Amino acid sequence: MSHLPNSLEARDVAYQLHAYTDARRHEETGPLVIEKGEGIYVEDNSGKRYIEAMAGLWSVAVGFGEKRLVEAATRQMEKLPFYHTFSHKTHGPSVELAEKLVSMAPVPMSKVYFTNSGSEANDTALKLIWYRSNALGQPERKKIISRMRGYHGVTVATASLTGLPNNHRSFDLPLPRILHTTSPHYRTMKKDGEDEAAFAKRCAQDLEDLILAEGPETIAAFFAEPVMGAGGVIVPPEGYWEAVQPVLKKYGILFVADEVICGFGRTGEMFGTTTFNLEPDMITLSKAISSSYLPISALMVNEAVYGPVADESHKIGVWGHGYTASGHPVAAAVALENIKIIEERDLVGHVKAISPLFQKRLKDLAASPLVIETRGIGLIGAAELTHGAFLDKPGALGALANGAFHARGLISRNMGDSMAFCPPLIISEAQINDLFDLAEAGIEDVSKGL
Ligand code: PMP
């Protein structure tokens, strides 16, 4: 595609290296320029409107164009645009948000530590866990287990936690001391004759086998998303968490629930922890905490985690960790207003009420011979595509579907050949029908083109 010289498209190609993009291909295709957004819709610079079925990156919970968030940011900008939380300093928005998060936590939590992205929240969790092991006089307890196909970020440590090949290959990752156990995806990971219940138990057994092989005294923590997002929207089979959690307890291994996608209503409860009866020691939050209007994330820890860390910081004289923008006052003010909107409009109740339709329309996509499986819960789901001609080209069919969806005015995201759907929580029943009408038509377009 050729773009006019000096167009945004041409200048983008000239100056920007993009996240999660084939850079050489981008030089040829150029970008899609998104100019504005309202509700569940965004519009490109040619005036074409799309249903943003990914809520941006699983994140714009209250939809685009929410004026209350703009006003909250403006008010705080005018009063105190920046202050930090280093060395005993604080400010109103960070205190209020920390208090709010602890009060709404799905299991008893003691303290909140603010960061600016999901990656930073998980990276901080990992550093805090190592620091705590030293504080407890267990310097050998440093290994961390996450799961294949899990997604926890892209810093050096969190890309290591992430269990996806593209985050490791050519980066010389994962780091030593970070291990991966079986992904809870039944269709691809089951053994011959294993039903879902037996598979769930075996996942727990695989975890225990890994712990025993490495030495239980060397394992510090287990990181997991209640529902895997970027790994393909994988909802664990029934009985999975019931089998996995006792293994962690048995060996005194901390459980970090990565609620970066699930948090703030996505699964039909305020937190995925509640949906699946989890008992994490630490919870990481981002994305929907501010509907991504500004970057902010948080790590919540319980008292048993906080205590030794506090003692160690006292012994050394400092907890030597912090980001300039940790608890940024404007981002915190926006997050507070965003949570207020989620509560006032009962968006969690709304998700509960409309998710049966969302899940039904998602399941119906499987009527197409191209769709091998659909997966989902609440307002998150994926349809996995397959076709004989593409078996040796993983992701190619997904990329085709992405193009077909775009042409029809639907933004999804292909994770390999799985098409993800994770719309703003404010979506209406009529809009859910519009979304899946477009998805059905897009899949049909792909099918006809083969
Ligand atoms: N954890 C989960 C579950 C995520 O989905 C993501 C981002 N998709 C992250 C962590 C990393 O967040 P960020 O991109 O803000 O670093």
pLDDT class for 228, splitting at 50, 70, 90?
Answer: very high
pLDDT at residue 355, rounded to an integer: 98
Nearest atom in ligand 1 to 225's CA: 3
Q: What is the mean pLDDT of the chain?
A: 97
The token duo for 53 is 């079925």
Give the residue from 35, 36, 41 showing the smallest Cα distance to 428.
Answer: 41
pLDDT digits (tens, 9 = 90+) for 9-18: 999 999 999 9
* 81 secondary structure, DSSP code: S
pLDDT at residue 3, rounded to an integer: 83
Using the mean position of ligand 1's atoms as its centre, give its distance from the Cα of residue 137 in Å: 32
Query: What residues are paired with 222 via a beta bridge?
Result: 145, 255
Nearest atom in ligand 1 to 262's CA: 3
Smallest CA separation from ligand 1 atom 3, residue: 260
pLDDT class for 352, splitting at 50, 70, 90?
Answer: very high
Give the residue from 414, 408, 423 showing the smallest Cα distance to 361.
Answer: 423
The token duo for 255 is 């459980």
Q: How far is CA 342 from CA 154, 335, 433, in A?
A: 28, 10, 23
The CATH architecture that domain 32-62+346-449 belongs to is: Alpha-Beta Complex (3.90)
pLDDT class for 317, splitting at 50, 70, 90?
Answer: very high
Distance CA 144, CA 153 (A): 15
pLDDT digits (tens, 9 = 90+) for 11-44: 999 999 999 999 999 999 999 999 999 999 999 9
Smallest CA separation from ligand 1 atom 1, residue: 152
Burial track 156-172 (b if 16+ CB lie within 10 A, e otherwise): ebbbbbbbbeebbeeee
Section 234-250 average pLDDT: 98
What percentage of the chain reaches a pLDDT higher than 90? 99
Counting Cα atoms < 13 Å in the Cβ hemisphere of 315 gives: 11
Query: Which of 59, 115, 122, 286 to mutate for ligand 1's pocket (most ligand atoms within 8 Å of CB)?
Result: 286
What percentage of the chain reaches a pLDDT higher than 70? 100
Nearest atom in ligand 1 to 297's CA: 15
Q: What is the pTM of this model?
A: 0.98
Query: Which of 149, 155, 233, 261 to mutate for ligand 1's pocket (most ligand atoms within 8 Å of CB)?
Result: 261
Using the mean position of ligand 1's atoms as its centre, give its distance from the Cα of residue 117 in Å: 7
Using the mean position of ligand 1's atoms as its centre, give its distance from the Cα of residue 261 in Å: 7
Distance CA 30, CA 356 (A): 38
Torsion of CA 412, 418, 424, 426, to 10 degrees: 110
Query: Which of 152, 283, 290 to mutate for ligand 1's pocket (most ligand atoms within 8 Å of CB)?
Result: 152
Distance CA 179, CA 211 (A): 10
Taken in order 61, 415, 52, 29, the sign of the CA dihedral is positive
- The residue with tokens 């939590």 is 109
Using the mean position of ligand 1's atoms as its centre, give its distance from the Cα of residue 186 in Å: 23
Smallest CA separation from ligand 1 atom 8, residue: 230
pLDDT class for 6, splitting at 50, 70, 90?
Answer: very high
Using the mean position of ligand 1's atoms as its centre, give its distance from the Cα of residue 396 in Å: 24
User: Is CATH 3.40.640.10 the right assignment for the domain spanning 69-344?
Assistant: yes
Q: How far is CA 267 from CA 169, 261, 405, 428, 432, in A?
A: 32, 9, 24, 16, 16
Query: Which of 151, 258, 380 to mutate for ligand 1's pocket (most ligand atoms within 8 Å of CB)?
Result: 151
Q: How far is CA 93 from CA 77, 169, 331, in A?
A: 12, 40, 9
Q: Is 440 helix (H, G, I), strand (E, B) or coil?
A: helix
Using the mean position of ligand 1's atoms as its centre, give its distance from the Cα of residue 284 in Å: 10
pLDDT at residue 294, rounded to an integer: 98
Burial class (CB in 10 A: 0-12, 13-18, 19+), 360: exposed
Instruction: Determine which helix (DSSP H) or strand (DSSP E) holds 311, and give its type and residue range.
Output: helix 303-316
pLDDT at residue 5, rounded to an integer: 86
Section 192-198 average pLDDT: 96
Q: Does the pLDDT at position 1 exceed 80? A: no
Q: Does the pLDDT at position 182 exceed 80? A: yes
Q: How far is CA 387 from CA 294, 368, 375, 445, 446, in A?
A: 40, 11, 18, 14, 11
* 351 secondary structure, DSSP code: H
Distance CA 160, CA 145 (A): 10
Give the residue from 262, 255, 336, 260 showing the smallest Cα distance to 298.
Answer: 260
For the chain, the first-to-last Cα distance in angstroms comes to 23
Using the mean position of ligand 1's atoms as its centre, give its distance from the Cα of residue 382 in Å: 17
Q: Which residue ranges have their beta carbon within 6 Å of ligand 1?
A: 57, 117-119, 122, 151-153, 225, 229-230, 258, 260-261, 286
Q: Which residues contact 342 (CB under 8 A, 6 or more apart)?
A: 61, 62, 264, 265, 288, 348, 425
Query: Which of 119, 183, 290, 291 to mutate for ligand 1's pocket (most ligand atoms within 8 Å of CB)?
Result: 119
Using the mean position of ligand 1's atoms as its centre, give its distance from the Cα of residue 162 in Å: 10
Smallest CA separation from ligand 1 atom 12, residue: 118
Nearest atom in ligand 1 to 155's CA: 16
Nearest atom in ligand 1 to 117's CA: 15
Query: What residues are paired with 31 via a beta bridge?
Result: none
What is the complex's ipTM, to 2 decimals? 0.99
Q: Residue ranges of the domains in the chain?
A: 32-62+346-449, 69-344
The token duo for 86 is 């280093």
Q: Does the pLDDT at position 181 exceed 90? A: yes
Smallest CA separation from ligand 1 atom 10, residue: 152
Using the mean position of ligand 1's atoms as its centre, give its distance from the Cα of residue 78 in Å: 30
Nearest atom in ligand 1 to 286's CA: 15
